[in-house]
Amino acid sequence: MARKIIPGVGPQHPQVIVLFGATGDLSRRKLLPGLFHLVSFGFIPGCRIIGVSLDDMDAEGFRAFARQALKEFSSRKVNEEVWAEFSAMLNYVSLSAGAAALRAAVLTAGEELGTESRRLHYLSVPPSAALPAVHMLAEAGLVEGSHIVMEKPFGTDLKSARSLNARLHEVFDERQIFRIDHFLGKEPAQNILAFRFANGLFEPIWNRNFIDHVQIDVPETLELGKRAGFYEQTGAFRDMVVTHLFQILGFMAMEPPTSLEPAPISEEKNKVFRSMLPIDPRNVVRGQYAGYRSEAGVDPESDTETFIALKCLIDNWRWAGVPFYLRTGKRLAEGQRIISIAFREPPKSMFPAGSGVSSQGPDHLTFDLADASKMSLSFYGKRPGPGMRLDKLSLQFAMTDTGLVGDVLEAYERLILDAMRGDHTLFTTAEGIERLWEVSTPLLENPPPVRIYQPGDWGPRSIHQLIAPHVWRLPFERVWRDAAPAPA
Ligand code: BG6
């Protein structure tokens, strides 16, 4: 059965995808299921996927691997007809077969797809394997006219990031490079742009005159499990903050771009990063959950943080004096991804004593960054009945109310499609990354000691001093309202 191709959404040309790290965890969980969905939705007009990894297997072995990955990790039901079509698109070249074998497989795939096909190289490999893969592509003569997707980490500090970018640029042009940050591919992250710039209501108050402080809070309940060895070298700051949380901060804080095109958006985001003040280690709480040091692959005296909370300042006209509090960590009390904006409070003098004005904190605009996103605007309103007693009320929106949740693309799906189309809007630039490492330098050079917290808690106790006189929004005092039941 030939797939019905939906024009205009995906790339114009068929794609040969070279997937380095094809048998790795990310490939299994996200990339192979994501590519399968993109093919099954008809977003890609023809494709061949060449898996590359250290494993010694053939195309049949790779097909079996992909089938198992879909079984375990596909969020949607797998249609057997589409699978048969998809599996015929898969091929495999072991790294040990070398550049010439890779070249031959890519050229054959390209010929099968016709003269108009394009190449996408996806490097889903650990940092130490990224440059060797780039050089293998160069040796195979597969650089020209292709796009390359790189996974984090993009260095571990300013020096290594600069060196990585410089060495990458010896082979690939910046326009060919797509540095993926999957948080920017999440539907609600893009919705921040729509919400801010497609409405007249909020942008006028999106500044220091009206906003008191902002929280970007991404606690996770996850344990490290098999990732402990990787994590031990990385820690929460490098794994989550310097990548995902700072990128979300960029969308939240940037000026309106001249258009919703890649270059103007990157430029505005980079301006935010340029205005960020270097992180003061006194404004940082590093934590480690009790028991981490006895996990496999972890140094018994490890100083790696599994939790971090910090205060950032953006010294520009829009944000000077408005603290941005960021927090994330593993084995915390709840898994959440929120941005919460606290508005300045009005004078309270006119309300009678005991009215409850301001007793439940300031008005908040809150974004839930879950795939089925939610938003809430909280405010004080009058409690029905005699006198003037106030309650905290809220306006809430849930994506599930729209009936369109099924249309949500997973972050990787969206980003793969964009990289194929050559659209850099949701990707990070060399300049942006280097600046983020630069502002991080004082913290990396002088990290405060890690403080132990109990698994299932919200981090070490000093997080409260960090944010005082404000308080962390999480855990929420009032839970989100359930989505409205679908009309009968
Ligand atoms: C990854 C981090 O980039 O993002 C993980 O390496 C983290 O440590 C994950 O758990 C969170 O992503 P998501 O999409 O599950 O919120």
- What ligand 1 atom has the least distance to the C-alpha of 222? 10
Q: What is the pLDDT of residue 484?
A: 58
Q: How far is CA 288 from the centre of its chain?
A: 23
Between the alpha carbon of residue 47 and those of residues 40, 44, 91, 159, 485, the distances in Å are 11, 7, 11, 38, 40
Cβ < 6 A, ligand 1 pocket? 182, 220, 222, 239, 337
Cis status of the peptide bond prior to 153, with omega within 30 of 0: yes
Pocket probe mutation, ligand 1, options 26, 154, 182, max atoms within 8 Å of Cβ: 182
Question: Which tokens belong to 374?
Answer: 């939610």
d(CA 203, CA 133): 44
Please count the other Cβ atoms lying within 10 Å of the Cβ belonging to residue 90. Answer: 24
Q: What is the dihedral of CA 445, 225, 134, 42, to 10 degrees?
A: -130
d(CA 436, CA 432): 6
d(CA 153, CA 128): 10
d(CA 235, CA 303): 9
Residues 6+ apart with CB under 8 A from 9: 43, 417
Pocket probe mutation, ligand 1, options 151, 216, 220, 414, max atoms within 8 Å of Cβ: 220
- What ligand 1 atom has the least distance to the C-alpha of 183? 14
Q: In degrees, to the nearest 5, what angle opens at C-alpha 117 toward C-alphas 112 and 119?
A: 110
Q: Whose CA is nearest to atom 7 of ligand 1?
A: 240
Task: Give me the helix-helix angle, 80-87 and 59-73, nearest 10°.
Answer: 150
Question: What is residue 29's DSSP assignment?
Answer: I
- What ligand 1 atom has the least distance to the C-alpha of 227? 8
User: Starting from the edge strand earliest in sequence, which strands make up the sheet with 211-219, in order?
Assistant: 390-398, 374-382, 364-368, 338-343, 211-219, 324-329, 307-312, 284-289, 450-453
d(CA 304, CA 326): 18
Contact 396, 374 (CB under 8 A): yes
- What ligand 1 atom has the least distance to the C-alpha of 369? 16
Q: Whose CA is nearest to atom 8 of ligand 1?
A: 239
346 alpha carbon – ligand 1 mean position (Å) = 38
191 alpha carbon – ligand 1 mean position (Å) = 19
Handedness of CA 198, 200, 202, 203 (dihedral sign): positive
* Strand partners for 18: 50, 121
Question: Which tokens belong to 93?
Answer: 């070249």
Q: Whose CA is nearest to atom 6 of ligand 1?
A: 239
- Residues noted as catalytic: 244
328 alpha carbon – ligand 1 mean position (Å) = 10
Ranges of H-type helices in 92-155: 98-113, 127-139
Between the alpha carbon of residue 143 and those of residues 18, 121, 151, 293, the distances in Å are 12, 9, 18, 43
- What ligand 1 atom has the least distance to the C-alpha of 239? 6
Residue 176 falls in which region: left (phi positive, over 0), alpha (psi -120 to 50) or beta: alpha
315 alpha carbon – ligand 1 mean position (Å) = 29
Between the alpha carbon of residue 473 and those of residues 54, 335, 477, the distances in Å are 45, 14, 8
29 alpha carbon – ligand 1 mean position (Å) = 12
d(CA 102, CA 146): 15
133 alpha carbon – ligand 1 mean position (Å) = 24
28 alpha carbon – ligand 1 mean position (Å) = 15
240 alpha carbon – ligand 1 mean position (Å) = 7
- What ligand 1 atom has the least distance to the C-alpha of 244? 3
- What ligand 1 atom has the least distance to the C-alpha of 231? 8
Q: Whose CA is nearest to atom 13 of ligand 1?
A: 183
Q: What is the pLDDT of residue 1?
A: 46
Q: What is the dihedral of CA 221, 227, 229, 235, to 10 degrees?
A: -50
486 alpha carbon – ligand 1 mean position (Å) = 32
Compute mean pLDDT per 10 residues along the chain, 488 residues long, and list them: 69 96 96 96 94 97 98 93 96 97 98 93 92 97 97 93 96 96 92 94 96 98 87 95 97 95 94 98 98 94 98 98 98 97 90 90 94 92 94 93 87 96 94 97 98 98 97 90 61
